[in-house]
Amino acid sequence: MLRLQDYNTRVVVLGTTLLGLAAGVVGSFTLLRKRALMGDALSHAMLPGIGLAFMISVAAGGTGKSLPVLLTGATLSGLLGLGTVLAVRHFTRLKEDTALGIVLSVYFGAGVAVLGVVQRMGEGHSAGLESFIYGKAASLVAADTAVIAVASALVIGVSALLFKEFRLLCFDAGYAATQGWPVVRLDLVMMSLVVVVTVIGLQAVGLVLIIALLIIPAAAARFWTERLRTLTWIAAGMGAASCAIGAAASALLPNLPSGAMIVLVSTGLFLLSLLGVANAARFSAGNAGARSIARSAGNMCCAPCTSGVKRRRPAGPERRRSRCPRCPSRRSWLAVRGRPASSAGNLTAPRRTGCSSGVPIKPWR
């Protein structure tokens, strides 16, 4: 049996659960902003900040191990990385994913170079810095959990306050701009929340795990709902649940690293969602093909294309199959029974750039 009486287990489970909660909330926004890998880039971008903070604090006569100093360094260089992504995207014709790849690799390279210097400095003991990469979920102490609790409360509070604005930003940033919302500032706030979650997560559970927590619960929740509010709740719940189960399993059984267990539990939830929803769709639509149903959420034009052309829900024989009007793919479009697409609740916001069938769509001229 799980011994929650055990103080250490209790602290670890509580800390990671709160982190999963916050990451699920923030992850749902980044997922819909199509920036799922932002956490990946930002967490790598924090390494040089950690190394430089260590060097500066050693040079100033400290031990270099002061957590606030290191976390400040991480936050600053994470924000710098965020700025670089936005700048590359704005000032060049490189795409967002390339910008993320650049920031990720260059900043991490810089971090490795700085750590290389630190290790050969001789003075100061740099051994603990590595734990930022691999994490130390199993050895969280009460103070770490307190930091996580405060930061999670902050993140969830800001998300709740700015929920309406974030929703608008997720679905139609252009429209938000025409309505006079400060889109750039809102975007910065949203991404700063990612930075906050990543900083506390990096220190607590390591680099890869925090990326997973930002992506997987939100992606899994996406199967269950078409509404953002529900999506956020489900993602937060899944994040918290996978952290709790994973941390508990790691505490209960020998030789299971907690970080990996948490990720694998959330992967399990993701696979369950994928299979469960595909099955449910198959049952409700007879033999109409679960895949097409899963794809064409709402009554958009054929879901792989989503060129934004809204199609009337056809009646009669026409409702079975028709061609996508805009993209050259032969993939047939399947009318879906159900709620018509409303502008607020429909999650398949128009994408202009691509088509998941792999067929790029030329802008309509």
Partner 1 sequence: MSMMGDAISHAVLPGLAVAFLVTGSRASVPMFLGAAVVGVLTALFTEWVRGLGKVDEGASMGVVFTSLFALGLLLVVQAADHVDLDPGCVLYGAIELTPLDTVTLAGREVPRVVVMLGVVFLLNLTCVLVLYKELQISSFDPALATTLGINARGLHFLLMTLVAVTAVASFETVGNILVVAMLVVPAATAFLLTRRLSVLLVLAVGFGVGSAVVGHVAALAVPAAFGYASTNTAGMMALTSGVGLLVVMVVTLLRRGQPLRD
Residues between 192 and 221 that touch partner 1 (CB under 8 A): 208-209, 211-212, 214-216, 218-219
Axis crossing angle, helix 163-171 with helix 142-161, rounded to the nearest 10: 70
How far apart are the C-alpha atoms of 342 and 204, rounded to whole Å?
A: 41
- Return the range that interacts with partner 1 (CB under 8 A); candidates 66-74, 147-155, 172-180, 253-261: 253-261
Question: Within a 13 Å sphere around the CA of 183, how many CA atoms are in the beta-carbon half?
Answer: 15
Q: Which two tokens stand for residue 262?
A: 């948490």
Q: Which is nearer to partner 1, 86 or 347 (CB)?
A: 347
User: At closest approach, how far in Å is the CB of 343 from partner 1?
Assistant: 18
Class of residue 21 by CB neighbours under 10 A (exposed 0-12, middle 13-18, buried 19+): buried
Enumerate residues 61-100 that contact partner 1 by CB under 8 A.
88, 91-95, 97-98, 100
Query: CA triplet 287, 291, 294: central angle to 5 degrees?
Result: 110
Nearer to partner 1, 5 or 255 (CB): 255
Interatomic CA distance for residues 82 and 100, integer angstroms:
9
Residue 98: which residues within 8 A CB-CB, separation 6 or more? 88
Is residue 347 a contact residue for partner 1 (CB under 8 A)?
Answer: yes
Output the smallest distance, CB 315 to partner 1, in A. 26
Question: Minimum Å distance from CB 316 to partner 1?
Answer: 28
Could you tell me if 118 and 51 are in contact, meaning their C-beta atoms sit under 8 angstroms apart?
Answer: yes
- Is the CB of residue 264 less than 8 Å from the CB of residue 306? no
Cα–Cα distance, 60 to 37 (Å, whole number): 36
CB of 95 to partner 1, least distance (A): 8
Binding span for partner 1 by CB under 8 A among 1-9, 137-145, 160-168, 255-263: 255-263
Rounded least distance, CB 157 to partner 1, Å: 25
Closest to partner 1 by CB, 108 vs 171, is 108
Q: Please state the closest distance from residue 281 (CB atom) to partner 1, in A.
A: 11
Cα 241 to Cα 257: distance, rounded to the nearest angstrom:
17
Rg (alpha carbons) of the chain, rounded to whole number: 22
Q: How far is the CB of 10 from partner 1 (least distance, A)?
A: 23
Is the Cβ of residue 147 or residue 166 nearer to partner 1 in the bound state?
Answer: 166
Q: Which of residues 141-200 bind partner 1 (CB under 8 A)?
A: none
| Using rule CB under 8 A, residue 116 touches partner 1 | yes
Of 9 and 348, the one with the shorter C-beta distance to partner 1 is: 348
Which of these ranges, 6-14, 187-195, 258-266, 335-343, lies near partner 1 under the rule CB under 8 A? 258-266
- The residues in 282-301 that bind partner 1, with binding defined as CB under 8 A, are 291, 294-295, 297
What is the smallest separation between the CB atom of 325 and partner 1, expressed in angstroms? 15
Which tokens hold the place of 76?
């600053």
To partner 1, the closest distance from the beta carbon of 126 in angstroms equals 13
Backbone angle region of 279, left / alpha / beta, with phi > 0 → left and psi within -120 to 50 → alpha: alpha
32 vs 147, beta carbon nearer partner 1: 32
The CB-of-137 to partner 1 minimum distance in angstroms stands at 12
> In the window 123-142, what residues touch partner 1 (CB under 8 A)?
130, 133-134
Quick check: 332 binds partner 1 (CB under 8 A)?
A: no
Sole binder of partner 1 in the list 46, 104, 155, 169 (CB under 8 A): 104
Q: Where are the strands (E) in 297-345, listed by range?
A: none
Q: Which of 10, 72, 101, 227 binds partner 1 (CB under 8 A)?
A: 101
Q: Which of residues 42-61 bind partner 1 (CB under 8 A)?
A: 44
Q: Which residue intervals of the chain are DSSP H helices?
A: 7-32, 38-45, 47-59, 67-91, 96-119, 131-134, 142-161, 163-171, 173-178, 183-205, 207-221, 228-252, 258-284, 290-295
Output the CA torsion sign for 156, 161, 163, 168: negative
Fill in the DSSP letter of residue 317. Answer: G
